Structure 1
Amino acid sequence: MHRRTFLLLSGTAVTAPALEQLLDGTPAYAGPHGGGPLIEGVLRQIEDSVRQIRALDDTQGSEHALTWTDGMWRSTAEIITGSPATAALRARLHTTFICLSEQYGWMLFDSDRHEAAQRVYQTGLSLAREAEAGSGTADATANLLASMAYQCSHLGQHHEAKTLISVAGRRPGLSPGVKAILADRLIVVAGRSHDPDGVRSARDEAHEQLGRRSADDPWWTQWLTTSAIDSATGRAWLALKRPGNAREYLASRLEADSDDYPRDRLVAALDLVDIQRLEGDVTSALTTGESVLAAAKNVSSPRLHHRLSGIATALTREHPSLATTTFAQRTTAILG
């Protein structure tokens, strides 16, 4: 993890230079920098766009909306630096930009563009240090830190991931839904850092906070469900090399009726294929793999596609006769 992240956490960075930095270079649309005062109608359109971007990412993956999201992120930063606003509107705009930075950073992470993701996360965090106080700012900032932590853990930086989640959890006034998200992220971090007790306690905390969530919690916390917590728990036990424990939770996630979040379901299915491969159950691995391929065609996630390719490669390396199977051929055709 870059040292700059901790500089930002300590408050060294300031808002204006950080926002101006992201506007350096030649944007796709070289429009005016600054404009008239921010009005309610414009702010509402920005807030609605963040919802639409998240919905598209949840249902179809990260790649399709990256260009649109980059434009929204840059133009919103320009409004922050160049358009005067009342304190109430400015507070909402700051919170929205933090949410947008979390969403855009997550999409870049899901696209395996890790340096760009860090830059976006860090820019959102720098604004959060000086954001106009308002409803939702603490929640949005904690959620951004949670996504930063997930990326760190994915890259093997488990200590940094735990630090980020700890910092996020110390913010006052967090809603139960956000506390549940922090615990959910900690489940996976604990698994990857070989801490089985941490997995259990984080899972209990996630379920406890999820049970307290209400209609007053941020709308973007709704993705977290009991099934999603099961998926994270299964992933953690798989990282701990306890496939028997992992299978129980992954099966629960895959049996859930709702398919509102196909990427999350694909993650659980990939974990299950990996368990079947590790246990030498080649027949089941191929059967599950076929269903994974069907889902992968409709979810644009380079991060998960790379993982699927790695699993297919491992299967054919361990069982050379599988190189000519339909699964191997279709994996190559779909993922290249």
Structure 2
Amino acid sequence: MVSTAAVPNLAFRQLRGQRSAGEFAAAVRRAAREIGEQVACDARYIGRVESGEIRCPNYAYERVFLHMFPGASLADLGFSARESVRGRGARVVSEPPPVHGREGDAAAPAPAAASPSGPHAPLLPHDSHPHHDHPFLHRDHLPHRDTETDDIPEESDVLRRVFMTSGTTTVAAASLGLGGAPASAAQVSLPAQRRVGEAEVNAVEKAVRQIRLLDDRHGADGLYRRAAQPLRAAYELLDAGTTARRATSDRLYAGAGELAISVGWLAHDSGRFDDARSHYAEALATARLAGDAGLEAHAFCNTSFLARDAGRPREAVRAAEAGQRAARTLGSPRLLALLALREAGGRAGLGDRTGCDRAIGRARAAFDRGTAAGDPEWMSFFREAELELLEAQCWSALGDWSRAARHGLRATALQDAHFTRNLALYRAQLTGDLARAGRADEAAATGHQVLDLLTRVQSSRIRGMLAGAARVLEPRAGAAPVGAFLTRHQETFRGAESSPSGA
């Protein structure tokens, strides 16, 4: 609740026109889904905005409103500037109930809650959602009732999730730990003034490293839900905190952006592509707000990877090219090599063999220049084994299975045994390439190695790759090695599906 007398938001009320508050709320939810957000907007929320009780929407709503009204600013919509409402007096913030995710998963965090989106977060240099003729602008396109999210509790600026008190130790230990905030953090009093210092920034950076370490060891499926909590806390620090020094502020922006990418990768690797897209877009917006070319290059790198996996190869190429432009001044040949490989993956998806081969050539030339002081910390995984794996995936996409298998074999031979998840990933890729190349017995043997590793690694992506290889091998089920693998694969996945903790 705001401490000053609320001033009605007449501009926002005018935009609603003759629609009821319920119809307007349904349009907001529908527009949110178009851009990968999920907001629990209902008639009561619209009423609170129009009454002036909500002076500035949270980041998720901001993205949705600006998508609905292209060219408008928050001021045009009748809202106050975010900076003017940051110094609010103490209030109690309650933890809202969980929002139901896809496939009835009550524990899955909504993208809006997991990744509060920035004011202008273009995912790519082009706009994949043209704003002209937006269905919101036409009353005839609106149903009278949208029951899909009628039972979702409201989400507003007053009820934003904040996992911190005024003490920096509490922030570092409770807000940004992967073990979850204590029960007492569900309802905390926020002081009017908060200062962000070394403890908070260190906690954000530590959370990034911890997520990456756990992902390397165990895969993404079991981590995604827990990782959303420190991400929310990091963006609350950005939104509500003040820092004593510019250097601390820059580190906080970079840390929050890297955390968004890390959580986005967990979503990506566990098959939640819409969530991943939202997190990567948030990281890109953060990078541009902070003028951080390194973070921007990283966001575009992961966006390209996601677009390739989601079957949008042209978008993958454009994102990789944008990442290369951002990375040119960073002094990291290895980063340019990785981005060139992302481009190669997109071109392979387009069937552009010549363009793919040229991009791989640029990648290898840059990689051969060696490491440099400008190499970002997050690129520790990008070694020769990864280069071979990414090239294998390119030839696989182009249907050159034998060549893909050659590079896949090199990748598995070079891979560091400490990266358990990558050991499984590389072998899953190799299993599929060997199967498609007609080397069924070798494929079955490699598939057994993947199944051995899946007792320690939870990754929907890897499981999907192995399932694809198994389908290719099914016509050869009469051969003893292949039949044994298919039987074990079926039993393993049936057991995982029946287990309460399965994927």
Instruction: Give the alignment's TM-score, normalised by structure 2.
Output: 0.59
Residue 150 in structure 1 maps to residue 305 in structure 2: yes
Displacement of 1:329: 2.5
| CA distance in structure 2 between the aligned counterparts of 1:13 and 1:57, rounded to whole angstroms | 39
Residue 163 in structure 1 maps to residue 318 in structure 2: yes
| CA distance in structure 1 between the aligned counterparts of 2:316 and 2:356, rounded to whole angstroms | 14
1:26-83 per-position Cα deviation (integer Å, ceiling 9, x unaligned): 7585445676200112211211221111111122111232233111100000000011
Residue 187 in structure 1 maps to residue 344 in structure 2: yes
1:332/1:271 Cα in 2 relative to 1: closer, same or farther (>3 Å)? same
Displacement of 1:178: 2.2
Query: Which residue number in structure 2 is paired with residue 174 of structure 1?
Result: 330
Residue 286 in structure 1 maps to residue 444 in structure 2: yes
| CA distance in structure 2 between the aligned counterparts of 1:206 and 1:262, rounded to whole angstroms | 25
1:281/1:11 Cα in 2 relative to 1: closer, same or farther (>3 Å)? farther
* Mean Cα deviation higher: 67-76 or 187-196: 187-196
- Where 2:220 maps in the other structure, the secondary structure is coil
The correspondence for 2:216, drawn from 58, 66, 75, is 58
Residue 100 in structure 1 maps to residue 259 in structure 2: yes
**Contact 1:141/1:168 (8 A) holds in 2:** yes
Counterpart of 1:250, as a letter, is: G
| CA distance in structure 1 between the aligned counterparts of 2:344 and 2:420, rounded to whole angstroms | 21
**Contact 1:11/1:129 (8 A) holds in 2:** no
> Equivalences for 1:200-239 in 2 at 5 Å?
200-210=357-367, 211-239=369-397
Query: Which residue number in structure 1 is paired with residue 88 of structure 2?
Result: none
- Where 1:333 maps in the other structure, the secondary structure is helix
1:165/1:65 Cα in 2 relative to 1: closer, same or farther (>3 Å)? same
Q: CA RMSD in A?
A: 3.1
Residue 112 in structure 1 maps to residue 112 in structure 2: no
1:221-257 per-position Cα deviation (integer Å, ceiling 9, x unaligned): 1211112111111111111111222122111111115
The correspondence for 1:82, drawn from 240, 255, 262, is 240
| CA distance in structure 1 between the aligned counterparts of 2:315 and 2:72, rounded to whole angstroms | 18
The correspondence for 1:304, drawn from 442, 456, 462, is 462
The correspondence for 2:197, drawn from 17, 39, 44, is 39
1:11/1:77 Cα in 2 relative to 1: closer, same or farther (>3 Å)? farther
1:188/1:265 Cα in 2 relative to 1: closer, same or farther (>3 Å)? farther
Residue 123 in structure 1 maps to residue 278 in structure 2: no
| Larger relative contact order (CA 8 Å, sep ≥ 6) | 1
Residue 240 in structure 1 maps to residue 402 in structure 2: no
**Contact 1:309/1:335 (8 A) holds in 2:** no
**Contact 1:102/1:121 (8 A) holds in 2:** yes
| CA distance in structure 2 between the aligned counterparts of 1:16 and 1:142, rounded to whole angstroms | 27
Displacement of 1:212: 4.0
- Where 1:175 maps in the other structure, the secondary structure is coil
Query: Which residue number in structure 2 is paired with residue 262 of structure 1?
Result: 420
Instruction: Compare the two structures and name the one with the higher helix fraction.
Output: 1
| CA distance in structure 1 between the aligned counterparts of 2:82 and 2:493, rounded to whole angstroms | 41
The correspondence for 2:296, drawn from 135, 141, 149, is 141
**Contact 1:142/1:168 (8 A) holds in 2:** yes
- Where 1:202 maps in the other structure, the secondary structure is helix
Greater Rg over alpha carbons, structure:
2
**Contact 1:139/1:178 (8 A) holds in 2:** no
Counterpart of 2:331, as a letter, is: S
Q: Unpaired runs of 5+ in structure 2?
A: 1-32, 37-65, 75-80, 84-111, 119-154, 162-180, 495-503
| CA distance in structure 2 between the aligned counterparts of 1:98 and 1:128, rounded to whole angstroms | 7
1:104/1:257 Cα in 2 relative to 1: closer, same or farther (>3 Å)? closer
- Where 1:194 maps in the other structure, the secondary structure is coil
Residue 326 in structure 1 maps to residue 484 in structure 2: yes
- Where 1:64 maps in the other structure, the secondary structure is coil
Q: Percent identity?
A: 23
